[in-house]
């Protein structure tokens, strides 16, 4: 959510940003917000003046009574009552106008970084760099669920009977590999100075609307019927929510946390060949990283975060590349985003395995996450960032394809062997 003062002072910048995100239908919201803001400030001034008048009259009543001027005192009381009634209507109007402003401000997109390429959708994202040499073996690589089935590692049919499409049973060494990857990612991030955390898997609506846009919420979140609770789509939601309505001493920043959680997503609109199997599913597990920092530090942390994911995948001998997300592919709260994609030897192309985002002060402004300056004790909104460390089973697709042997066995990289009971291969 943008600062109202910024919108007042820079309506043209806000409108140009909306156009750069190809959301022209939102352009009228800027003028509407500014008009409601004018009315809101006028109502507030009138209410403040009225309170001052009422208080002045109230002070006179005691003096009039002490002087025996009861009739005048009674007249003064009537005026106080009249002003109080009108004041109540003004306060109600103030609240109505504030709500009208908030509804619109929640859907006006954040100002994107000037370095973000302008493009309509993900087809116009820009490759930044490749890491590792993508290879295609001289034998055919089966579809990932076929690899898992041959290793007795997955049961999709039973999962459909139990929960429907978009769910799975992982079994045996594949299930163990899944847990090993999560454990390795956890320790990888701890070694890089992040504090490990297991967060709540459900969050209240005020946190949901604080961390994402309404469009994202509708497409992703599962609501708990009859309760003000949602299942998290990623642990970033509850991790950022941890700091709701707090003032953090400057010396305690940055907050660097890595978290494990299951994730639950509707995945509306999933389709096509790659939506089968375990590429897009309703339930998965994930290791995440988040940072809460001072505004001037967020560009540096942004680069550190996506580099962590690149380094983790390269430690598992999986080639990856980074893509700069264009303006039209950025969610409304994001200032800048980079996707990390892993190489798929079967498809002979890269596919997304993680996304790193700098959200500026958008989440902090919605959730009232501030920090106190040590020198002048002033308060300012922090910046928040998040990034996927690793999210199996999607990550398992890249792992299995890049470590598959011609005989159907799968090599285990050295860094994972301690988490696999010393195994160097799955047969």
Residue by residue, DSSP assigns 36-99 as HHHHHHHHHHHHHHHHHHHHHHHHHHHHHHHTT-HHHHHHHHHHHHHHHHHHHHHHHHHHHHHH
State phi, psi for 406 to the nearest 5 degrees. Answer: -60, -30
Do 390 and 246 share a structural domain? Answer: yes
pLDDT of residue 273: 37
Give dist(CA 314, CA 110) in Å, integer.
Answer: 33
My answer on whether 177 and 302 are in the same domain is: yes
| Per-residue pLDDT at 276 | 61
Flag whether 113 is in a domain: no
pLDDT at 89: 85
* One domain for residues 240 and 272: yes
pLDDT tens for each residue of 39-52: 999 998 888 887 78
Indicate whether 101 and 149 sit together in one domain. no
Same domain, 176 and 278: yes
The first and second tokens of residue 219, run together, are 């497409």
Residue range of the domain that includes 227: 122-426
Helix 27-66 to helix 11-20 angle (10° resolution) is: 140
Which segments of the chain have a pLDDT < 70?
A: 62, 66, 74, 268-276
Retrieve residue 184's tokens.
């390795």
pLDDT digits (tens, 9 = 90+) for 208-253: 999 987 777 878 899 999 999 999 999 999 999 999 999 999 999 9
Q: Do 305 and 417 sit in the same domain of this protein?
A: yes
For residue 269, the model assigns a pLDDT of 55
> What pLDDT, on the 0 to 100 scale, is given for residue 298?
97
Domain with residue 376: its CATH number is 3.30.930.10
- Please check whether residue 33 lies inside any domain of the structure: yes
Do 232 and 135 share a structural domain?
Answer: yes
- State the pTM of this model: 0.88
For the chain, give the number of residues.
427
Q: Say if residues 393 and 154 touch (Cβ distance below 8 Å).
A: no
Helix (H) or strand (E) run with residue 311 in it: helix 298-315
- Chain position carrying tokens 């100002």: 111
Chain-centre distance for alpha carbon 93:
33
Token pair of 153 as six digits: 């590692």
Number of structural domains the chain divides into: 2
**230 plus 266 within the same structural domain:** yes
DSSP secondary structure, 113-173, as one string: PTTSPP-SSGGG-EEEEEES-----SSPPPPHHHHHHHTT-EEHHHHHHHH-TT--EE-HH
Contact predicate 2/107, CB 8 Å: no
Task: Tell me what pLDDT residue 272 has.
Answer: 44
């Amino acid at each position: 959510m943008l600062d109202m003062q910024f919108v007042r002072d820079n309506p043209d910048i806000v409108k140009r940003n909306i156009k750069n995100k190809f959301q022209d239908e939102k352009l009228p919201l800027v003028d509407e917000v500014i008009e409601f803001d004018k009315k809101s400030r006028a109502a507030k001034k009138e209410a403040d003046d009225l309170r001052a008048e009422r208080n002045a009259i109230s002070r006179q009543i005691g003096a009039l009574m002490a002087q025996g001027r009861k009739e005048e005192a009674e007249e003064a009381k009537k005026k106080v009552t009249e002003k109080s009634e009108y004041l109540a209507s003004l306060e109600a109007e103030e609240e109505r106008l504030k709500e009208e402003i908030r509804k619109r401000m929640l859907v006006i997109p954040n100002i994107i970084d000037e370095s973000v390429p302008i493009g309509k959708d993900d087809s116009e994202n820009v490759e930044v760099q490749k890491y590792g040499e993508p290879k295609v073996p001289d034998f055919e690589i089966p579809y990932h669920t076929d690899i898992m089935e041959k290793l007795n590692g997955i049961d999709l049919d039973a999962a459909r009977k139990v929960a429907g499409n978009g769910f799975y049973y992982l079994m045996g060494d594949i299930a163990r590999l899944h847990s090993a990857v999560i454990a390795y990612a956890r320790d990888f991030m701890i070694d890089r100075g992040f504090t490990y955390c297991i967060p709540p898997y459900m969050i209240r609506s005020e946190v949901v609307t604080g961390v994402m846009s309404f469009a994202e919420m509708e497409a992703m979140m599962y609501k708990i019927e009859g309760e003000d609770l949602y299942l998290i789509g990623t642990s970033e939601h509850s991790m950022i929510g941890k700091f709701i309505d707090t003032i953090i001493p400057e010396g305690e920043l940055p907050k660097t946390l890595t978290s494990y959680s299951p994730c639950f997503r509707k995945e509306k609109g999933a389709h096509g060949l790659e939506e089968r199997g375990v590429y897009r599913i309703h339930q998965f597990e994930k290791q995440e990283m988040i940072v809460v920092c001072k505004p001037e530090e967020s560009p540096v942390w942004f680069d550190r975060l996506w580099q962590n994911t690149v380094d983790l995948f390269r430690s598992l001998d999986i080639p990856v590349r980074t893509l700069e997300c264009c303006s039209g592919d950025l969610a409304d709260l994001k200032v800048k985003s980079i996707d990390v994609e892993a190489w798929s030897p079967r498809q002979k192309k890269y596919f997304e395995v993680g996304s790193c985002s700098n959200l500026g002060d958008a989440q902090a402004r919605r959730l009232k996450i501030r920090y106190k300056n040590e020198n002048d004790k002033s308060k300012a909104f922090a910046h928040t960032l998040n990034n996927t460390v690793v999210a199996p089973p999607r990550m398992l697709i890249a792992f299995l394809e890049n470590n598959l042997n011609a005989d159907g066995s799968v090599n285990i990289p050295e860094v994972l062997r301690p988490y696999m009971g010393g195994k160097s291969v799955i047969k």
